[in-house]
Amino acid sequence: MPSERMDSLAAVLAAIRGGSGITQPQLTQQVGLGRSVVAARIAELESAGLVASAGMAPSTGGRAPRQLRLRAEAGVVVGADIGATHMNIGVADLAGRLLAHVHEVMDIADGPEVVLGRVEQIVDEVFAAHPEAGEVWGVGIGVPGPVEFASGLPVAPPIMPGWDGYPIRERMSRRFGAPTWVDNDVNLLALGELRSNPVAAADADVLFVKVGTGIGAGLVSGGRLHRGANGCAGDIGHVAVAEAENVICRCGNSGCLEAIAGGAALAREGRRLAESGGSPVMAEMLAAKGSIGAEDVSLAAERGDPAARALLAQSGRLVGGTLATLVSFYNPALVVLGGGVVLSGDHVLAAVREAVYRRSLPLATRTLRIEFSTLGEVAGLSGAVHLVLDELFSPHRLAHWLPRSSPAGSPELASLEGIASAA
């Protein structure tokens, strides 16, 4: 199909996807195309089974216009947000609404065979419980390490032993018979927030920062996810900070932010305090369960433990110091904080805010807002789903599968060259 035609088809479809019961006159005004062109594109999308009537809109004096909707039930998308210690797996319709999802504790260090095998098993269980779900149109996977987006391959991920170069895309494509995209988990957090949070969508220039077992950032510029030349933009966990000069990071270097401010560092320091008598609350936790995790530090802080609160505040100050540089450099309108360490309470958020506002340029913080993620633990899963939808409905890919009315059974769509991500 001619490029111009596909661009207009994708534009009309995007407007229908983004609106609730949008009418043809509204479409004409929104996409800037002539009435006859919009009518022809609507007819084509209806013929392909992507668009359907949603009743009649109120009349404004003449004949009542017909409302249009995306046929979200035509297919489903599988999403998997895999973190260092937890994962969220789910199935969503073509509007990005989650039909079902499962949260499960796991260890990324168990390797791809174990972890991805469990992902496949959970998806099978979800489909068994929801036999009404349609065919799989695509799969989105997020992992906690650097990913070369063009190939979907993890590249030397510091906290993912056994995953370097593992063909995640090929495995999941074969398993589900659908195109598969793989990305860094923080990019998916940023994309999930962008697609689901109206404030983030309106601001367009957003920095999403995850503080969990690791630390990373997702950059949204002009409403588009910025991955960089090779897909590793935003990997702030391994920038050097003076306070960590003599601390060895899991990446093999010393002095990384993550080594003293991430979840693993909190767990390490929490155990030290428990064993040394510096925190009676964490000592009690250690005696009860034999270990201390970052979540235990957060629980101790909630119980009023001064040592735990001091650890969280220190993490927030260190992260905030690095963010202050990014805020001055990038000048976002909104910084969104997510990840298990941040979402555990206000101690980290307050420290991050204080450091950013104190150390960034005054002009960069004049209208800056720093807030928690609106999506909580499902932000990454939402991002995985929307990654697939954005890619499937991009003009170039739409041209390949629209004649068949479905991208199911076409894994090769994910590896088509020369396509800029629709995110």
246, 104: one domain: no
What pLDDT score was predicted for residue 344?
67
217, 361: one domain: yes
- Sheet containing strand 98-105, edge to edge, reads 98-105, 86-93, 76-82, 136-143, 180-184
Percent of the chain with pLDDT over 90: 76
204, 351: one domain: yes
In degrees and rounded to multiples of 5, residue 369 shows phi and psi of: -115, 140
Full residue range of the structural domain in which residue 26 is found: 3-70
Res 158 pLDDT > 90? no
63, 95: one domain: no
Per the DSSP assignment, residues forming a β-bridge with 152 are none
What pLDDT score was predicted for residue 61?
66
CA distances from 417 to 61, 93, 209, 358, 412 (A): 49, 26, 30, 45, 10
| Confidence band, pLDDT 50/70/90 cuts, at residue 104 | very high
Give dist(CA 358, CA 348) in Å, integer.
15
184, 268: one domain: no
Give dist(CA 358, CA 92) in Å, integer.
42
Res 282 pLDDT > 90? yes
350, 220: one domain: yes
Rounded to an integer, the average pLDDT of 106-133 is 96
288, 184: one domain: no
Give dist(CA 347, CA 344) in Å, integer.
8
- With 0-12 CB in 10 A as exposed, 13-18 as middle and 19+ as buried, what is 128? exposed
What pLDDT score was predicted for residue 339?
86
216, 361: one domain: yes
Asked if residue 93 is part of any domain, the answer here is yes
Half-sphere exposure of 398 (CA within 13 A, CB side): 26
Confidence (pTM)? 0.90
Helical packing angle, 379-392 and 185-196, nearest 10°: 80
| Confidence band, pLDDT 50/70/90 cuts, at residue 422 | very low
66, 106: one domain: no
Give dist(CA 144, CA 155) in Å, integer.
11
Count the domains in the chain.
3
Asked if residue 342 is part of any domain, the answer here is yes
| Confidence band, pLDDT 50/70/90 cuts, at residue 421 | very low
CA distances from 80 to 94, 131, 414 (A): 16, 20, 16
What pLDDT score was predicted for residue 60?
67
The SS3 of residue 180 is strand
What pLDDT score was predicted for residue 374?
85
pLDDT tens for 174-204 read 999 999 999 999 999 999 999 988 889 899 8
Lowest mean pLDDT among 107-111, 162-166, 287-291, 373-377: 373-377
Give dist(CA 323, CA 346) in Å, integer.
17
Name the residue with tokens 């090769």. 412
Res 290 pLDDT > 50? yes
Res 391 pLDDT > 90? yes
Asked if residue 207 is part of any domain, the answer here is yes
- Residue 255 gets the label, from left (phi > 0), alpha (psi -120 to 50) or beta, of left
Res 343 pLDDT > 50? yes
**Beta strand pairing call for 136-143 and 76-82:** parallel
**Inter-residue contact 175 to 411 (CB < 8 Å):** no
The SS3 of residue 111 is coil
Asked if residue 401 is part of any domain, the answer here is no
* Residue finishing a domain among 36, 70, 104: 70
219, 256: one domain: yes
**Inter-residue contact 103 to 158 (CB < 8 Å):** no
pLDDT tens for 7-40 read 999 999 999 998 778 998 899 999 989 999 999 9
The SS3 of residue 259 is helix
Cβ density class 34-52: b for 16+ within 10 Å, e for less: eeeebebbbebbeebebbb
Name the residue with tokens 């920095």. 207
Asked if residue 217 is part of any domain, the answer here is yes
CATH of the domain at 20: 1.10.10.10
* Residue finishing a domain among 37, 70, 103: 70
Query: Which pair of structure tokens corresponds to residue 363?
Result: 């002009």
Res 98 pLDDT > 70? yes
In degrees and rounded to multiples of 5, residue 122 shows phi and psi of: -65, -45
271, 337: one domain: yes
Rounded to an integer, the average pLDDT of 366-379 is 90
* Residue finishing a domain among 45, 70, 95: 70
CA neighbor of 367 nearest in space, from 399, 342, 334 = 334
CATH of the domain at 82: 3.30.420.40
- Sheet containing strand 206-211, edge to edge, reads 224-226, 215-221, 206-211, 334-338, 369-372
Could you say which DSSP state residue 382 is in? H
What pLDDT score was predicted for residue 256?
94
Res 420 pLDDT > 50? no
Res 233 pLDDT > 50? yes
pLDDT tens for 63-80 read 778 899 999 999 999 999
96, 215: one domain: no
Res 378 pLDDT > 60? yes
